[in-house]
Amino acid sequence: MELDPLTIGRYHVQREIGSGAMGKVYLAEDPLLKRPVAIKVVHGGAAAQAAALKRFQREAEISAQVNHPNIITVHDVGEESNLGPFLAMEYIEGPSLEEILAKGALAPEHALPLLIQALHALEAAHQVGIIHRDFKPANLLVDQAGRLKLMDFGIARQEDHGLTGSGLLCTPSYADPELLKGSAPSPITDQWAFAATAFQCITGQMPFQGASLSELLYLIAHGEPDLPTSMPPSLRETFRKAFEKEPARRHPDLRTFLRELVGHLDLSEEATQPLLSYLEAPLPTGPISSLATQPLAHGAQRRTHGAMFAGGAVALVVAAGLYLGLRPRQISIRTSPSGARVLADDRPLGRTPLVEISIPRRTRHLRFELEGFLPLDKSLDPQDKTVEVSMERAPVVVKIHSEPQGAEVFLDEVPKGSTPMSALAIPGEGQHRLTLRKPGYESWTMQVSRTRHPPAMIRLRKEAPGWDRGLIKKIFGNS
């Protein structure tokens, strides 16, 4: 019987917490920093161990480049003479998303906070040119507080990095058609795998299912996704677009896909707005418990490839400080009406109301955008702690056609031109008087607003012959 080691490097082994055909994972203690770590070791001969060492070193390099609260931190890489290469990483007490999904699909309010965290992790990697290449539920760990960690960057690829090449180093079920055809990995590779993971979270099944590996790969490259008949049409269209064969016909980025997914799932307004704010934040801030997450079932198997998020919200705030700049400022932002998208120096913050959020201290400009309203720009003073703005409704542009043509057009008695008019701007607030006048024809008038538009064709009536226009005006007025 093979005995577990007592030490690996400087780490004191406590117990085995996972094993497979390729190796084992141990829970150990770092005697210097007094923290738990998960240590991965690999079985196999010299060639396999040499390859594993390169992968471990690669994963450590990426961990050093991407410091993010939703990505596993690698603490150490080394070799033991009687054991081979090892990788020491933070310890997470909780299952993988794969283990959670083994029990079935997740409710949208449970799935979306996890997917948003996964999006932030991938975006952080992509910003420094790193492509994960094997994004899937098995590589997403979820701790007891509902915080998600992306792990296993061992086959990740970086631009101009020669370690892995462009072969099919991935899990086939999550591979995109381009990778199957031999194209080099790109952010599109991770985007497809993310969409497949989101589909699995929402439906409990994979978008492409084959009886054999060859059939599966053929369906991914040429077939249509298996969309449940019970899925609402808008949601079906979102996933159909995500799995288009031509990349140009898919969503332009992960954030657009996930924003659309949030909008088409059956969620209340109270549930949707916090999710959108959390999605738009430059870095997830605040306790995850403020959003609905999937609690761990009592006695559920615990996958421990990393550490429980020690310090919880404190560590998250520290990470936010590193990302946004030292000593971030706190500010509350409200708009009337609420729901406006806020950008700080062109960096998305979320949707109003935003209460005591962290922004870079150097921020000097806020922009507010809300569908149906005019964009609003506001300078931000260093001492501002609360910002409240009122959004102005955007004008409604309508076409004005008359029969006969050539009628003068007046809005609130201000001349605007003559018919036909391809674009007349009606102010977004209040009622306004629209008048058409043409010699020999009766004046035409109606009250218009952003919701009350003139008819597509305004037919002017000829004035009755022999009538005294002055007398008519005295009796009936201008109407």
Q: Which residues contact 106 (CB under 8 A, 6 or more apart)?
A: 100, 114, 201, 202, 294
Q: Coil, strand, or helix at residue 288?
A: helix
- Which residue among the candidates 76, 134, 381, 412 is catalytic per the annotation? 134
Instruction: Compute the distance between CA of residue 476 and CA of residue 357 in angstroms, rounded to an integer.
Output: 60
Cis peptide before 177 (omega within 30 of 0): no
Q: What is the helix (H) or strand (E) element at residue 30, kind and residue range?
A: strand 23-30
Active site residue 134: yes
Q: Which residues contact 51 (CB under 8 A, 6 or more apart)?
A: none
Residue with tokens 């605007």: 416
Instruction: Compute the distance between CA of residue 27 and CA of residue 7 in angstroms, rounded to an integer.
Output: 11
Residues 112, 275: contact at Cβ < 8 Å? Answer: yes
Distances (CA, A) of 147 to 25, 72, 376: 21, 11, 35
In eight-state DSSP terms, residue 447 is E
Residues 82, 294: contact at Cβ < 8 Å? Answer: no
**Furthest-apart CA atoms within the chain: distance in Å:** 117
- Which positions are annotated as active-site residues? 134
